[in-house]
Structure 1
């Protein structure tokens, strides 16, 4: 990367950047599902984890924090607080405390990260491009189909993305001649990004390579480089301990998963993410990005090492992980976007209308239209209504059993009902099955008879059951459960439709009342957590 002066940015441009990003984020989140209508299974879990942090801070169980967490999970069995890095949840907690526990509060926290992402993209592009192309770059990244799809849900991609982009702004400033404090800031922001989503760690390799490119062997004689590396390693020690202790499933996803769409040991695994780019960014931007990369390479444009390395190192990193999902590689898309913008800025004559500015504006509008038309955020309704209805019916201090695919959505909506904090949720799959993270990785049926299932519901204080008909009905254990619901011991009290804007697993939820001899909810429940390979006891 070549040395050059820091870009000069005036107040008018800053205000324009803020206005543009705010409008984009507002338009995006106006379309975001809310009211407890979660789609992706991780989303309500991320939302619930932040609520747990708030509740933990209020309770201050200094004598037994682990016991408090176990009891919390026993009441709201969708908690994944230690399976994922904790920063997003810590940031969410004060918002819940002030604004209340709701899907909307969680989305607000994501939206603020989305705002930071847009501003960071604008600021980063200004190291290479003038004002107008940089603003277009920021708007394009915000409206990319893959970014907009996951960024308008309570997911970790955009929060981590925001830390990553601002980390890059600081490091690039250092590479362009800013004082060493910018390198410290960049490293700190990258560490915070890893405490949001570990996969952004690959950017540390990019930073080291860029510094080596600039300084050569002299980089090893710079005490600031050693201090930054040491402080970053110390800062990451708690995260490493949490990952080794509770993130075995995440480690397994790197080394090998049984249901990988393309194994990293095959050539298909190494081209899989390339094949996703057209749907992630849209064909127009993908084609322009490829043409821009070819142009930059053909002309040997200097100073673009960050964009080449950022894409290349990131691509190798994500391809080497066996578990592949398109959302994992959203951090690579700014490079595609940058080369598209660079192409239009370089080749479109300024005398044609306003030249490149008009072309960039059209590209932004085309990308936004493509996102709105082809990648609306999915939702499934009905879970908040089911939670409200069963909370209205259930006796105090009783248990509600849930059986269905979207247990996280139901559990979060139960916790959002502040007036019914006395209720506990019990998952049917925990009683009847042993599932290794997700069903595709293995399931064990515990072999309870219909009579034993009915007795277990009575013994656990289950007065009401919320069931998705046909859920995993190919398993004998779940067939027995449905037969128990059809027995004389249970009566149907409500059916709640679950409309969705995609082909969902379910069409309705059924609420049943237990007419049997239900005892008070028992204490001392043992729960198996295969996701962290341990069994916990909750009093």
Structure 2
């Protein structure tokens, strides 16, 4: 069955958009980074509208003091810059953030189809693209406000332009390929491994004569200069990311062990599904035959180097998470697709690809749903209705990012400030597993702090980190006569989440009004914010 290319593309894009019917919304974030990515884009929008050009850093620190989930310089900024006009146009909401991700996802799907068309007929290329787009790991993270799929979108179009360059030799295509790769790095810095892949392919295609090409040197120097700001930001504000490469205390498996170098191989069945991986292994066995039948000179080297360089790159990083290696899944899917398209008849090959794509869709939709934790928007609504003007709301719980983003979503309560209990009681470097220092505050000190900060209402996850003495003292304080329980909200989740409910307390003590000074430690950048609001 040969469909018109435009119809195929439309079907692929519509199918990609339909994946988002299963995306969490209405503030029901799962992964702790997701609401922070969403909030960072809101910050960019607010920054542009406020135009604090005389003191932008002061504005950022004050913004963090009000909404303490901001991580704008901890990650590359491109996704947030792209998100900002969408927030300005459609308003601040979880749904707007998902729309931006969805558009990147659709661009990724289109790019996959365009890349596979270098080797496959239109219909088979669309089915191969569907295999990748609907892969369980990609669809899981791609339907949250995360950076993996936005970066993949830039990467896949960079690869399309690079293949055009290898085919036609036009410098414009190579320039576009490098520009898009730089954009991918400004979205998620680990996309950098594709640069060495391009260099290896150029050396494979042209030998050492490629190093004498002045145009290549000009493009390379321009790319390096374009990345200087990103390197500076990473070294100054992203030390936790640098540490995740060099070594972390809670590494799941050491990169100095064989298990560390096999870790990402073990993730492939869950990332792609067993059927796809089984076909890909068959393609690996028949790789030399496939290279002779289907691929032009250097094409097999392109796919092989993409996987090998990427695999070594991610394996060398001490922090291991399956989502990190979604960048090396395209070569595995390509291998599976190339094998199936070598079946005796084109119709049989297309049917086999369609069946495999359907199996992946079923696994993703029914067996790998996106996780979510609900209830935070409802808690924020209650607080917004009851909190006095210009007061502070304390949050104590695991999902502080969800609470903060939902609070910022309430445009009618921009007067409220969120105070995090962990910022008052503890000093945490990124996450608890990397170290926590308890501040020597007595119960009387804690009570006085809450009054001085203007905290009228407290939103508390029962039992949060109460193995720490500082948090035990906090629990005794809110159990005293100064505080009373006023509401409880369930936080239903589709997995065993850290929390089951959130409890709201009212502070009956002498809560301060008017300007209040707060000191917030930011150990991630070794800085302390002193904010007055």
TM-score interval (norm. to shorter): over 0.9
1:170–1:185 Cα contact (<8 Å) kept: yes
Shift of 1:521: 5.4
Mapping 1:120-519, distance limit 5 Å: 120-297=111-288, 300-301=291-292, 302=295, 303-346=299-342, 348-350=343-345, 354-519=347-512
For the residues of structure 2 that align with 1:456 and 1:430, how far apart are their CA atoms?
12
2:425–2:470 Cα contact (<8 Å) kept: yes
1:401–1:425 Cα contact (<8 Å) kept: yes
Shift of 1:132: 2.0
1:380–1:504 Cα contact (<8 Å) kept: yes
Asked if 1:56 corresponds to 2:47, the answer is yes
Shift of 1:300: 4.7
For the residues of structure 2 that align with 1:523 and 1:232, how far apart are their CA atoms?
46
Aligned counterpart for 1:86 among listed residues 58, 68, 77:
77
Number of residue pairs aligned between Structure 1 and Structure 2: 526
2:19–2:143 Cα contact (<8 Å) kept: yes
After superposition, what is the alpha-carbon deviation per residue over 1:107-133, rounded to whole angstroms, capped at 9, x for unaligned?
Answer: 000000000000000001111222122
Shift of 1:25: 1.5
Question: 1:536 maps to which residue?
Answer: 529
TM-score, normalising length from structure 2? 0.97
After superposition, what is the alpha-carbon deviation per residue over 1:267-304, rounded to whole angstroms, capped at 9, x for unaligned?
Answer: 11100000000000000001111111221135553431
Shift of 1:155: 0.1
TM-score, normalising length from structure 1? 0.96
Q: Helix, strand or coil: the match of 1:448?
A: coil
For the residues of structure 1 that align with 2:108 and 2:329, how far apart are their CA atoms?
13
For the residues of structure 2 that align with 1:523 and 1:298, how far apart are their CA atoms?
72
2:489–2:502 Cα contact (<8 Å) kept: yes
Shift of 1:533: 2.2
After superposition, what is the alpha-carbon deviation per residue over 1:228-262, rounded to whole angstroms, capped at 9, x for unaligned?
Answer: 10110010011011011101000000000011111
Shift of 1:137: 1.2
Question: 1:5 maps to which residue?
Answer: none
Unaligned runs of 5+ in 1: 1-9
Q: Helix, strand or coil: the match of 1:509?
A: strand
1:465–1:512 Cα contact (<8 Å) kept: yes
1:399–1:521 Cα contact (<8 Å) kept: no
After superposition, what is the alpha-carbon deviation per residue over 1:82-122, rounded to whole angstroms, capped at 9, x for unaligned?
Answer: 00000000000000000000000000000000000000000
Question: 2:32 maps to which residue?
Answer: 41
1:401–1:462 Cα contact (<8 Å) kept: yes
After superposition, what is the alpha-carbon deviation per residue over 1:197-242, rounded to whole angstroms, capped at 9, x for unaligned?
Answer: 0000000000001111111111122111001101100100110110
Q: Helix, strand or coil: the match of 2:325?
A: helix
Q: Helix, strand or coil: the match of 1:30?
A: helix
Shift of 1:538: 2.2
For the residues of structure 1 that align with 2:4 and 2:75, how far apart are their CA atoms?
38
After superposition, what is the alpha-carbon deviation per residue over 1:296-322, rounded to whole angstroms, capped at 9, x for unaligned?
Answer: 135553431111110000000000000
After superposition, what is the alpha-carbon deviation per residue over 1:428-487, rounded to whole angstroms, capped at 9, x for unaligned?
Answer: 000000111100111111121111111100000000000000001111111111111111
1:459–1:522 Cα contact (<8 Å) kept: no
1:529–1:535 Cα contact (<8 Å) kept: yes
After superposition, what is the alpha-carbon deviation per residue over 1:129-168, rounded to whole angstroms, capped at 9, x for unaligned?
Answer: 2212211111111100000000000000000000000001
CA RMSD of aligned residues (A): 1.2
Unaligned runs of 5+ in 2: none
